[in-house]
Structure 1
Amino acid sequence: AGTLVFGSAGNLLELCLGRGLQGAGVALATGASAAALRELLPARPEWASRFTLLASSGGVAFGPVLGGLLAHLPGGRTTVFMVQAFLLLLVLVPLSTLQARPAIALAERGQRSKALAPRRLGVPSSARAPFWLAALVGFLSFAIFGFVLSLAPGYFAQAFGLDSVLVIGLIAGLPLGISALSQLVVRGGKALLPIGLGLMAASTVVLAVAAEHRQLPWAIAALVFVGLGQGMAFRTAFAQAVDAVNDKQHAQTVSTIYLVTYLGSAVPVIALGWAVGVFGQQQSILVFSIGCAVVAAALAVWALAGLRKAR
């Protein structure tokens, strides 16, 4: 519904309404789908967490590429959203026929109508430290990805003289694609968290400097390392957080992590957009990048302190 409203919008109010509906749908589906994966893989909770992040990162990475391809179809950009809405409706077919095993905690008689109600957000006291680390890593990750998917495409197109919508979409989706790939191929323990955060800190600054000096190869390399660092850091922090809670609290914990995470793709990017209008594009993006690098470095120090304490 949100996609149809957004695709056919004729004014700012309708655009905001469509985005709001899309956000509500994502919020309702994220925790529920993560909990479903946990229940379908009861003996492999680490794979449930990995598939959750793989689907999230992979979907966001594929979106700009698919959008760039569909934008060349007749009808312009409206066609992109009509096709997307149709694909979302097709997803309902396998979902409606899926025969999953019974849930871990079945609703009691007389209470089954409440099984579909959204759960109250919350984090158990025993998992607050890993939760906040995962949530803040997610917030930082999506602040950077929000910039890459919103202001960066236009900024890169101007800085590097790009005019192909598909190429711009590929560049925008590159770090998220690398992040999704890292969910599958990168192996390691808790030490991946500070390493990934260190990569994010360094490559974010390199990205801004490369764009300012019109160095496309350096910018592409920085995007690759941003995605690699994010994938390593967020997957490790996310797994630590969800492993610290029991199965009944899994969906609530995941939803709460994503609540903070998605705020990262909203609040900092809106602030950056305001700063660009007031202080200029290059200066604002450079300050934003340095700020993200400082936060990543601080979280890396926190993660290292946690490793030493555990040892």
Structure 2
Amino acid sequence: MLIRIAPPHLLRETEITPPEVYASRRRFLQQLGLAGIALAAPGLGRAQSPGPGALKISTRRERAGGEKPNSFEDVSSYNNYYEFGTAKDEPARNAGKLKTRPWTVVVDGECEAPAQVDIDSLLAGALEERIYRHRCVEAWSIVVPWLGIPLGDFLKRFKPTSKARYVAFETLYDDQQMPLARFSGLQLPYREGLRIDEAMHPLTLLSVGMYGRVLPNQNGAPLRLTVPWKYGFKSIKSIVRIRFTEKQPATTWSALAPDEYGFYANVNPAVDHPRWSQSRERRLGELFKRDTLMFNGYPEVASLYSGLDLRRYY
């Protein structure tokens, strides 16, 4: 008989924070005079004051079906970043220890022009704001105005060869800056990967900011992936290495629990997580659940999986 013992960090559906807790927390923050964090204008996704770390935006694209972005407070205080704690509020408290300068990203593997890229060179380029839905595998969701560059445009600089069928990503792991990482239950450094056609898709974003400013540490500073049609664990944070590979790379969650966290991780309301339904989701700050959309509401990616059984390759 097979007995499954769930790792202590895995979220149970009953552990998802009730909406009344969000509401009371927001009221408490407002009473403390922190309401200035709220967005300046509905639907725009811009904080009231740009403050330190403001970034210049070259173009804007609304890609969330007209949905209003969550507040900056929502997105920056409710996070999964296990290197800084497994509770949702711990990364915001602990990630200040992360040093984001100097910061370079190594790009290598099956490419003709491997290189090391400094984060400030990316910040100095043309940055695009995209308002995207973000769906967590834990059945909660948010809408975020991310800021970055199309990943495909970035990857083309390194001239991937015909052997480059996948793109592997690796995050920073430093036990001095991340002392809680040893309690995460994860094999670190955190790793993720995409097929190269997924990485090159126009929706895939290499994000350096949100709400018009640089990323907060708890949201993956200074560089993270944003893949809006996949569950959030695919959008790896604090990237230090990108590698073109011929074979499908090992990824952190898929290695830990392959029957629960597949390599593809496409948002699919018809394929439940083994321990909870994926047919509905709770948007942070809302009382009632809403229906989950196939591919998180981005049907243009469906052609990537033509002929692929999405119940098997989940």
Question: What's the TM-score once normalised by structure 1's chain length?
Answer: 0.26
Q: Which has the higher strand share?
A: 2
Q: Which has the higher helix share?
A: 1
Task: Choose 1 or 2 for highest CA Rg.
Answer: 1
Question: What's the TM-score once normalised by structure 2's chain length?
Answer: 0.26
